[in-house]
Amino acid sequence: MTDTPPPPPPQGASTSGAALSESEDRQWASFAHLGGIIGLLPSLIIYLVFKDRGSFTRQESKEALNFQITMAIGQIAIFIINSVLTAVTFGIWAFIGWILPLALWVLSLIWSIMGFSKAKDGVAYRYPIAIRLVK
């Protein structure tokens, strides 16, 4: 029995992928912020796929993901509060309760665009409100 080295992995079967160039690192980091416009899924996907390929992408996608998780928690809390207040006020609250989720979405939109703008220039962006769940 001879000790032969194992065959090299097939082409394209890398475990973590090639390292990102500086421009690609900024691009994916900025996309993680911009994806927040439609929810937390883009930030999550970018974090999982590119976290080991670029340090700036890892940092910014984690920040965007934490912010989007915070916004999702906020939307759920507003939904519960609106439901209770609508029931207690016999439906009257429903006429003004729609403003709260809209306001939270507008804030999320504005801060996501600000994060995109900063990240595309290579500047780290920290959201004003975010629960840091992903370390």
Q: Angle 109-94-80 (CA atoms, 0-180°, nearest 5)? A: 70
Within a domain: 8: no
Within a domain: 3: no
Note the pLDDT of residue 135: 85
Domain, as residue range, for 97: 22-120
Across the chain, what does the average pLDDT equal?
Answer: 89
Within a domain: 14: no
Confidence grade of residue 17 (pLDDT, cut at 50, 70, 90): confident
Assess whether pLDDT exceeds 70 at residue 12: no
Within a domain: 38: yes
- On the CB side of 102, CA atoms within 13 Å amount to 4
Q: What do you get for the CA distance between the two ends of the chain, in Å?
A: 47
Query: What's the number of domains the chain is made of?
Result: 1
Residues in the chain: 135
For 111-120, the pLDDT digits (tens) are 999 999 999 9
Higher pLDDT, 8 or 94: 94
Within a domain: 36: yes
Assess whether pLDDT exceeds 60 at residue 1: no
Nearest to 129 by CA among 112, 30, 121: 112
Within a domain: 125: no
How many angstroms from the chain centroid is the CA of residue 70?
A: 10
Q: Which residues contact 30 (CB under 8 A, 6 or more apart)?
A: 60, 115, 116, 117, 119, 120
Within a domain: 31: yes
Nearest-angstrom CA–CA distance, 73 and 63:
16
For 23-51, the pLDDT digits (tens) are 899 999 999 999 989 989 999 999 999 98
